[in-house]
Structure 1
Amino acid sequence: MHIGDWNETPSLLFSTELPTDGTVTVHALQAPGQGGWLAGASGDSEANLDSGPVQENVMPGIQPPPEGDLIPEPVPGCQVTPKYYTWFQETLGHTTAAGLMAFTGSGKATARHLPDQQGRKRFDGFEHAASTSVQDISHELLGTTYAGTDHVFRLNGPRVEAFSGVDASLFGSLTEGRVEEYRAVVHTTRHTRPLLAWDEKWGGPVSVHADGSVLAIRLLPGQGRARR
């Protein structure tokens, strides 16, 4: 993965070999470039994360600079050139939003942040009540309301409920496509997260991440302490 012009990536470059037999090999190469900020010539970003996702067909390959009149063949890899900086920033923002919405179980909210090449059709059409006005898949955890989805499974015998979701106010921003607003709020409140605590009302541990997502787990009611 190479971001910027040739030799302008200002960090380590990693390459991983996944052989069919033998061990996994990771190569690390120091890149002394001075780039790194995904900004235009003026130094400012033109990305608008509230705009819809854009599908680009970027050809694979990292292009070495010309050698006189000769243009070398691209080397294997993926290169994000300055031409695609804005698109790349917006894609990263939308992909993050889509991941959070998938974590809540909201198919339509996930699909709105993905182009077809990232599987939009896989999520479009499926929905749950938490993204409508009903909001019946939500819980108040550690004093904050979260919208999401829950699953029941067995853990070494006892039946366990797991709830995954996102802060309800942030959930509303992302379902309506206000990614810029979501990022601003998360950045402002980053000092209050992450958080890991036991919620007596919920009846189990609750883990809140810096991005506003939550994972909570508890034994289903009716199971005695002996089984616990």
Structure 2
Amino acid sequence: MSNTVKLVVATHNAGKLVEIRRILAEDLGEDADRIELLTAGELNLPDPVEDGASFEQNALLKARDVVRRTGLPAIADDSGLIVDVLGAAPGILSARWCGRHGDDVANYELLLAQLADIPDRNRTARFRCAAAFVTPEEGQSEAPYGIHNENVELGDMCGRIIREPRGEHGFGYDPIFVPNDQPQRAKESGEELTSAEMTPEEKNAISHRSKAIQALVRSIRRALID
């Protein structure tokens, strides 16, 4: 690409890149073409240890790590499921709730077992995302590069946990989570959808990640485009 600026998405997940590209395209319009999105995976960057005590801390440490290694601006997010009756768990442990990182089915099956005796009225929950945008100091020629500025925004998608998984889309806890905000087709049919039964476009319109990244767009535009 010519006349573009590079922005690194601090992930090795190609699906997350597609989602973030879609969000930026919707919010930046034609200006989105001026940003070349790369991933940490494409740059062969290691995953940093996510030892933060909150979504915000983990998002920042991932973005900072990319900036210090590459000298390029970076965007990162950290997200998880908060279940009210469990005192905000699984929270930052969502991806490894069962003891193994990334085993989606084992994670949500354990959560369902833990909530088995909880009545439907008390199964409220929310997905929360913290999105961080970090820019490097200018004029440096080698790593570790300094940090110039950083912003963090939060987004929530509220809903409830059902008792059996439904749907083939999405990932993580999507098959057992019914968002409060439903697409028009669900309202017309009277049958609420899980996140995993929604199309990517329907989920993207209400998702916690969309809300958090959309809140960063002003900072991204100011730093990279204006």
Same fold (TM over 0.5): no
Higher relative contact order, chain-length normalized (CA < 8 Å, sep 6+): 2
Q: Taking structure 2 as the reference length, what is the TM-score of the superposition? A: 0.28
Q: Taking structure 1 as the reference length, what is the TM-score of the superposition? A: 0.28
Q: Which has the higher helix share?
A: 2
Q: Which has the larger radius of gyration?
A: 1
